[in-house]
Amino acid sequence: MTNKLNIGIHAGNKDKVRKYIGLFIAFAILFLVIPYCDDDLRWGGTPGLSRLANWFDGYGGRYLGYLIIILMTRFYSAKVLLQAALLTALVYLLDSIAYEKQTEYVSVLFLFFMPLMIFSDTIGWTSGFANYITSVVFSLVYVKYVYRRLDGENVTTSILHALGYVLLGCAGSLIVEHFTVYNLCLALFMIAYTFATERRVRLPEMGFLAGVVLGIALMFSNSTYRNVASGDDFYRGVNTSGMLAAMVNRFGRIINICYLELPAIVISITVVTFLIWKVRRKFLGGIAGKMADIGTAFICFANPVMLLADQTREYDHAAKNVVSLMLLLLTLVAIVVTVGVFSWQAGRFWQCMGAIISIVVPAVPFLIVSPMTYRCFCGSYIFWIVLLYQMLSLIPETCDKIFFNIELQKYLKVVAYAAIGFYICIYSSIMLQDIMRLRSVRNAEAQGKTEVTIGHLSNENFVHDITLENDEQWAGYKDFYGIDPDLKINVREEDE
């Protein structure tokens, strides 16, 4: 019996390895056909080297993020391999954090069905990927440790492990500022949790906190943040005048981006919440049961209504905005309360609440910090996936039988690879058009012309600003591709 079990485990591990190798190859093909665009061209050219020579002083404190961008934009093979490895690692970490395993293809579907505004600015843009995907991957490595501890696993606490977490905390805090804040909150939470439950602090947790503090000290020692505080920075800003009004306005926009504009998440939350209620309601009584009933009913009613209303923008007016905002806010409160009740009953309160907190914390800085773009909420989107996987653990004895059985895995695999294949086709088309456009520019240069007019690309909304908008950006384009800087590049308007 033991030998059969060992053989089964070994076969399962081999299947896992083959699964990740297949995903890595598919991701590598995808990133092979995603072209450089916008700031990639400046990072890979003279401006990037100038920033590096000055050690990014006055530009920003995302030191590790900037180094990764320079590596990716100067060496195409490094871009392809590193991006494929990091996206594969993201899928692996999501699966390892999930209570029930075999979520790899589900994670791929969630990632490739994320809103295009987020996808194009992260997976579809090399510089965005280096900042916003990489930062999440680093944080999830420690989140995996946190969930192992919350699940009661006896984790190794050697000095060597502590040193590794020092490096992890420091590295993860030198990519994007809002995840630096998140990592600090995560480190403090884990220390508080361990002290409250064990009356001690473990070495890995102290190591991670020390690394995060070191990363904060390095990042914010850059002079650019003094310019941000004084309002003199070229890019970032803090709303110091009329802050309360700005926060109120931004709050509504943030919760829309972080929930209502994520239809795959909204639908999944609705279905999984109903399934949890159907299975666990009989074990609840009193006020807790009534809260679960009201919360579940509200979520199942409000989510479809909000999704439908969000599609009727032609009827948009102030009254509808107020009603929609209140409905959205009440729905989010209902999710927190309902998940809290069921997770408390199941003994997985902190696992679920930790995921909810992880959705919120990276979004909070954008109440006052600008610019606020869709890519800033990539991390919150990924933590919604973490929450859904934790919610599945609240359905006793059903996950393996219903959600992740062998037959369903086959269908999920087909759909996941079809989604990746769709994006490979889209980006292949964009890259070919980009190559043809570059060729026309080179031909104009070879013919001694002083200016050339080019057009927009089909499906260019799948990448971040591949058709540039101003002379500074075109200067980076010409520098990157070795084109005469005096050649003027005009862009033909789409309706011409």
Average pLDDT over residues 396-425: 82
Residue 314 clears pLDDT 60, i.e. is over it: no
Q: Return d(Cα 50, Cα 41) in angstroms, integer.
A: 13
- Phi, psi (deg, nearest 5) at residue 305: -65, -45
Burial class, 474, CB count within 10 angstroms (exposed 0-12 / middle 13-18 / buried 19+): buried
The model's pLDDT over 203-214, given as tens digits with 9 standing for 90+, comes to: 999 999 999 999
> What's the average model confidence in pLDDT over 189-200?
92
Q: Is residue 406 part of a domain?
A: no
Q: Tokens representing 8?
A: 């089964």
Average pLDDT, the chain: 89
Helix axes 177-198, 203-219, angle to 10 degrees: 160
Which tens digit of pLDDT belongs to each residue from 213-262?
999 999 999 988 888 777 666 677 776 666 677 787 888 889 999 998 99
pLDDT reading at 157 higher than 70: yes
Helix, strand counts (H, E) of the chain: 21, 4
Residue 39 covered by a domain: no
Classify residue 313: in a domain, yes or no: yes
**Domain for residue 327, yes or no?**
yes
> Could you tell me if 459 and 430 are in contact, meaning their C-beta atoms sit under 8 angstroms apart?
yes
Residue 313's pLDDT is 52
In the predicted model, what is the mean pLDDT of residues 43-59? 93
Contact in structure between 89 and 139 (CB atoms under 8 Å):
no
Lowest mean pLDDT across 9-23, 143-157, 436-450:
9-23
Count up the domains in the chain and report the number: 1
373 phi-psi bin (left φ>0, alpha ψ -120 to 50, beta other)? beta
In angstroms and rounded to an integer, the radius of gyration of the C-alpha atoms of the chain is 24
Which one has a higher pLDDT value, 13 or 80? 80
Question: Which position has the higher pLDDT, 435 or 312?
Answer: 435
* pLDDT recorded at residue 6: 45
User: The domain containing residue 246 runs over which residues?
Assistant: 236-396
**Is 160 a domain residue?**
no
Judge residue 311's burial from the number of C-beta atoms within 10 Å of its C-beta, 0-12 exposed, 13-18 middle, 19 or more buried: exposed
Over residues 306-322, mean pLDDT: 61
What's the pLDDT at 315? 43
CA atoms of 380 and 360, how far apart (whole Å): 7
Max mean pLDDT range (1-10, 232-241, 295-304, 363-372):
295-304
Inside any domain, residue 427 = no
User: 291 in a domain, yes or no?
Assistant: yes
Domain assignment present for residue 251? The answer is yes
